[in-house]
Structures are given as structure tokens and as C-alpha cells.
Amino acid sequence: MLSSLHFNTILLATFLLIFNIISILIFKKYSFSFSHAKTSDKLKNPVTIIILTAVGASLAIFAWWMFRFASAEHYNLFIALIFTFSWITNLFYLFRFENSLTRLVVSFILTDILLLLVMAFPNQLLQNIYMAASLLWVGPVLLRRLKIRIELFITFIFLFMAYDIVSVLYTTPVELTESTEVVLNGLIQFQGQILGVGDFLLAFLMINAAQHFFGKIPALLIAIWTPLPLLLLRFVFPEMIGLILPYTLFIVPPALLIYYIWWKIKSSTHREAQTV
């Protein structure tokens, strides 16, 4: 018979798998038709890359500071603002209204309603869905709207992993993230079985990139793989449960291996087509 720890680990892994599949299904549903600006060359400009990197690093540092030193009340306000912005962006790109102002107003109203529901009825499953779903827009915007190149994307993945390793090993404030005063604490959890929203975001990004550059099959492989370390750690290697290990270490190397295999397949197919 399964213990509660095993059962909740299965729930967390299943939740991640479901949202991984959703990220594949929804990837091409985002609409960028309202914009007439050309974006294909935006991320080829080194200045743009430097600006985006600086902004991202600044936000990461500020998030770390809030995460490390803020009170539960201030952290809750900060994280609520982050998810509010994320949901507005998410809905803005999902809606098909031609008028961008209409998109923005409707997105803002619906986001406020969703946030009020989550804050008024602090149910853990509702919070999990709210936090995970708010991240689905990032991959489509980076890959389809900004047309980020794969080299830059992989560089970003390594930077993301480095930040995650430092954050998990050296700076994670357990007291704040586990505080009952914090409604939206940035953790997807099922009765103590926890995965950070950053891990969900990274999984969505790697899946969307595989889908964008190589097709749905490698995207599905990554979607299936990313929840498996949770199950392996709980059922096969339980002695590792007490160790504090960044989850990115378990999902990034296999995903990059899948990228490499499909890149080789794609290159081989292209060469064969040229010789015919």
C-alpha cells in the first residue's frame, strides 16, 4: 500500500506532466497578430541581448532579496504582483481581439477576478493551478514573438540552471516558503511534496523550444521525462530524499541530450536531401 508521501509524489509528478502536455497543446494558440512590428531581428542585436540580460539579472537579484529577507506579508505582495503581471500577459496573448486595448482591459479584469478567488479561497490545488498556468506564455513569447535563436536559448538555460543551483544550495529561506501566511509562495506542493515554479517554467521552456526547433516528438519526450526524477527519487533512490539538490540538474542534461540527438537527425536528413 502506498504511503501518503508516495501518493503525494505521484500527484506532484502527474500535475507536472499534465501541465507539460498543456504547454505543448497551447504553444501555437497564442496570438501575436495585433503587432505589425518586425521582431525577427530583435534578438540578433547585441544591445538588445545585453538589455534583456541586464533586466533579467536585476529582476532575479531583486527576487532573491525579497525571497531571502522580506517578511511574509511583503513577500506575499511581491509574489502576487509577479503572478498578476504574468496572468495579464498570459491572457493578453491568448485572446484573439484585434484591438490591443480591448485585450489589455479584458486581461486585467479577468486577472483581478482570478487573483481575488485565489486569495479569498486559499485552496492548495487552486493555488498550484494558478501559479503553474501563469507561466505558459513565456515560451511562446520568447520563441514565436521574439524569435530567439537556439544558441541564445541554450545559453539562457545554462544561466537559469546556474542561478537555480546557487539559489537552492545557498540561499533558500525555508521559513518563508513554508509559512502559512504566504498564500502564493512560488511553490507547487501536494502535502509537503514540493517543486518550485522555476522548475515548472524551465520545463515549459525546454518543451516549447524542442517543439519549436525540432517538432512534437522530442517535446513529448522531454514532457514525459521531467516528472520522472520525482518518482525515481521517491521510489528507487529514497536515500537521496534528504539531500538538497536543484531539480534542474535532473531535467536539463537529458533535455539537452534530446536536443542534440534531434539536431543530428535533422542535420543528417538535410544533408541527404541535398545529395538527392
**What count of other Cβ atoms lies within 10 Å of the Cβ of residue 239?**
8
Residue that the C-alpha cell 487573483 belongs to: 115
* 30 touches 135 (CB < 8 A): no
> pLDDT class for 65, splitting at 50, 70, 90?
low
Q: Cα torsion at 147, 151, 155, 156 (round to 10°)?
A: 10
Q: Please say if the pLDDT value at position 134 is more than 60.
A: yes
Q: What is the 3-state secondary structure (H, E, C) of 123-141?
A: CHHHHHHHHHHCCCCHHHH
Helix or strand or coil: residue 195? strand
Please tell me the distance from the alpha carbon of residue 217 to that of residue 214, in angstroms, as a whole number.
Answer: 8
Average pLDDT score over residue span 56-73 = 61
Lowest mean pLDDT among 34-43, 170-179, 239-248: 34-43
Q: What is the share, in percent, of the chain residues with pLDDT greater than 90?
A: 27
Helix or strand or coil: residue 191? coil
Q: What is the 3-state secondary structure (H, E, C) of 5-48?
A: HHHHHHHHHHHHHHHHHHHHHHCCCCCCCCCCCCCCCHHHCHHH
Please tell me the distance from the alpha carbon of residue 136 to that of residue 176, in angstroms, as a whole number.
Answer: 26
Please tell me the distance from the alpha carbon of residue 247 to that of residue 244, in angstroms, as a whole number.
Answer: 9
Predicted pLDDT of residue 171 = 58
- For the chain, the residue count is 276
Predicted pLDDT of residue 103 = 84
Amino acid at 260: Y
Taking the alpha carbons of 231, 236, 238, 240 in that order, is the dihedral positive or negative?
negative
CA end-to-end span of the chain, whole Å?
59
The mean predicted confidence, pLDDT, of the chain is: 79
Q: Could you read off the pLDDT of 66-88 as tens digits, one per residue? A: 666 666 666 667 777 888 889 99
Please tell me the distance from the alpha carbon of residue 94 to that of residue 30, in angstroms, as a whole number.
Answer: 5
Q: Write out the three cell numbers for 15.
A: 500535475
Q: Could you read off the pLDDT of 180-221 as tens digits, one per residue? A: 455 677 789 888 788 888 899 999 999 999 999 999 999 999
Predicted pLDDT of residue 79 = 76
